[in-house]
Structures are given as C-alpha cells and as structure tokens.
C-alpha cells in the first residue's frame, strides 16, 4: 500500500515533483528537465499505475486517496496527503481533480517494437498542439488503432495536458519516433504497411477506396499546413475524407478518428 505522508507546508521539498506545473521552464514534466509524467485525477492516475510507467509518488486529498485504494494497494511509494489549498499552492493553480501521480519516463520505445504486430498506426508530422495529441491517443485507443508514430515537429505527448486530454491513453497506446524523417517511412513500408497520406485535397482518392492494405500507416499533418509536400511524396497514396465545400479541414484528431473508424468498419 502506498504509505501516507501528511504534508502541511507547500514549500516542503518532498513535493518538488509536483511543483509549478504551469511553469514553462520549471515544470517537472519538461522532457529535457526532470522528465516526469504527471497524471491528474483518479482515472488517469489509475491508468498511470497500470501502464509501463513506474509511478513513484502521489499528491492528493484524502477523498481521492480513498477512491484510489485498490489502485495503490500494491505500491510501496509515498502518497503525500494534504489539502486542496496546499495542493493549489504547490502546483500553482486550483486543481479540481484532487490528486496527482508522478512517474519517471521509461526509455522510449523502438519503432520496430511498436510496429511488431500492429495493423493500424497513425504517423504524425507537425502536430504541436497538446490537446490535439491527447485527443489523437484517446481516439486511437477507442477505435483500436495500435500505435502512434512521430515524425518531425510534434509536441511532447507526455506533457500533462496531453496526458489528461487523452484520458490516460497516451500511457497505454504505444508510441515511437520515426528516425530520419521522412525517409524513415521506408522502415514502415518495409514491414508491409501501406503508407497513406491524409489530405483535404479534393483530387485525392476517397479514404474508403484508398485504404487497401492489410497493414496501414495513416499520415496526418497539423490543421492548416497539413503534411509537407516532400512527406506526401514519400507515401503510397493520398487519401481524403469527403468534405463539404467551403468548409475548413477537420481537426487532426477527428480526421484520424474517421480513418480509424474506416479501418474498424472494413474489418467488419
């Protein structure tokens, strides 16, 4: 059982792993800083504990600890118990979820390991919005996509806000970096994946016709710029989601959801 440590002083250094969560240069989940992962709320904390990440501390109010009793039963780590006010002082804002969990980042997964056994993967380029990244993982989990891969210029999927928006699924759905972007797409193709670029371009093939592979890698770019042309050229086919004229491209996580749905639909 995670052992209770009561803390009344927000300056207590034992809480440093939860301090200044909104600080752009001090927050503990900066990948080049402390490199932690912070889970907010009971549901996401549960998913952190069940994940490949090793949870090493909790900070929360008693009510949330009681909700987590089963989850923390087998852990030998501190649960720093305090009040909502002290928590707010520590993290830097009022946190209405009442509990946080912290873990160290394990080594990144290798592309080969993530592709092994996968049938549907998303590959992202330039997706630098944490909420979109979080939604992407949530949709991948919900619709049974196997992994998310990162090309260039994507934001950190393990930032607290992405973790929260993903409802913790960023801790569960495997992800890896594609090296030597975009040439590294060949590594995916060599595993037998059909590499499909999603684009709003009306001359592209409708998604349902384009997706013919047994294994499929779906490339998505950020809203607005979309995929770079030289990335498009490194794919097997350009596919579009049929859109109404005069509208904007869909949110990238929504576009991905539609492609994942199409996969599920085809597999019956």
Q: Which residues bind a copy of itself (CB under 8 A)?
A: 135, 138-139, 141-144, 167, 169, 208, 241-244, 247-251, 253-254, 257-258, 261-262, 264-265
Q: Cβ distance 111 to 33 under 8 Å?
A: no
Provide the minimum distance between the beta carbon of 265 and a copy of itself in the complex, in angstroms, as a whole number: 6
> 125 or 223, CB closer to a copy of itself?
223
Q: Considering the complex, state which of residue 137 and residue 150 has its C-beta at the smaller distance from a copy of itself.
A: 137
| Helix/strand/coil for 8 | coil
CB of 117 to a copy of itself, least distance (A): 15
SS (H, E, C) 54-85: EEEEEEECHHHHHHCHHHHCCCCCEEEECCHH
For residue 255, what are the CA distances in angstroms to 60, 110, 117?
A: 36, 26, 24
Q: Provide, rounded to whole angstroms, the least separation between the CB of residue 142 and a copy of itself.
A: 5
> Of 32 and 248, which CB lies nearer to a copy of itself in the complex structure?
248
Q: Provide, rounded to whole angstroms, the least separation between the CB of residue 179 and a copy of itself.
A: 28
Q: Minimum CB separation from a copy of itself for residue 171, in Å?
A: 13
β-strand partners of 193:
215
Q: Under a CB-based contact definition with an 8 Å cutoff, are residues 56 and 103 in contact? A: yes
Of 73 and 264, CB closest to a copy of itself: 264
Would you list the DSSP string of 87-133?
HHHHHSS--TT-EEEEEEPPPPPPHHHHHTT-SEEEEEES---HHHH
Those residues with Cβ within 8 angstroms of residue 251's Cβ, 6 or more apart along the chain or in another chain: 132, 135, 223
The residue among 5 and 261 lying less far from a copy of itself, judged by its C-beta, is: 261
**CA-to-CA distance for 65 and 37, rounded, in angstroms?**
19
3-state secondary structure of 241: coil
Q: Which is nearer to a copy of itself, 155 or 167 (CB)?
A: 167
CB 141 to a copy of itself: min, Å: 5
Report the residue number, 108 or 243, with the smaller CB distance to a copy of itself.
243
| Least spacing, CB of residue 257 vs a copy of itself, in Å | 5
Could you tell me if residue 142 is left (phi over 0), alpha (psi between -120 and 50 degrees) or otherwise beta?
alpha
Which DSSP category does 15 fall into? G
């Amino acid at each position: 059982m995670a052992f209770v440590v009561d803390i009344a002083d927000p300056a207590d250094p034992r809480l440093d792993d939860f301090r200044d969560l909104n600080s752009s240069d001090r927050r503990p989940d900066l990948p080049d800083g402390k490199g932690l992962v912070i889970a907010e709320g009971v549901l996401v904390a549960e998913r952190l504990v069940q994940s490949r990440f090793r949870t090493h501390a909790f900070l929360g109010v008693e009510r949330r600890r009681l909700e987590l009793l089963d989850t923390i039963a087998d852990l030998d780590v501190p649960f720093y118990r305090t009040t909502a006010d002290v928590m707010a002082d520590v993290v830097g804002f009022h946190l209405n979820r009442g509990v946080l969990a912290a873990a160290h980042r394990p080594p990144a997964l290798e592309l080969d390991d993530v592709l092994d056994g996968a049938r549907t993967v998303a590959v992202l380029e330039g997706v630098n919005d944490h909420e979109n990244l979080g939604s992407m993982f949530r949709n991948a989990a919900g619709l049974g996509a196997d992994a998310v891969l990162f090309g260039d210029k994507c934001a950190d999927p393990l930032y607290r806000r992405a973790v929260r928006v993903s409802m913790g699924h960023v801790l569960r759905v495997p992800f890896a970096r594609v090296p030597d972007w975009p040439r590294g797409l060949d590594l995916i193709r060599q595993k037998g994946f059909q590499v499909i670029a999603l684009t709003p371009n009306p001359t592209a093939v409708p998604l349902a016709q384009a997706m013919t592979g047994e294994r499929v890698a779906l490339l998505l770019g950020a809203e607005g710029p979309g995929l770079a042309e030289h990335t498009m050229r490194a794919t097997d086919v350009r596919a579009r989601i049929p859109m109404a004229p005069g509208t904007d491209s869909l949110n990238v996580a929504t576009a991905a959801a539609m492609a994942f749905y199409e996969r599920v639909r085809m597999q019956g």
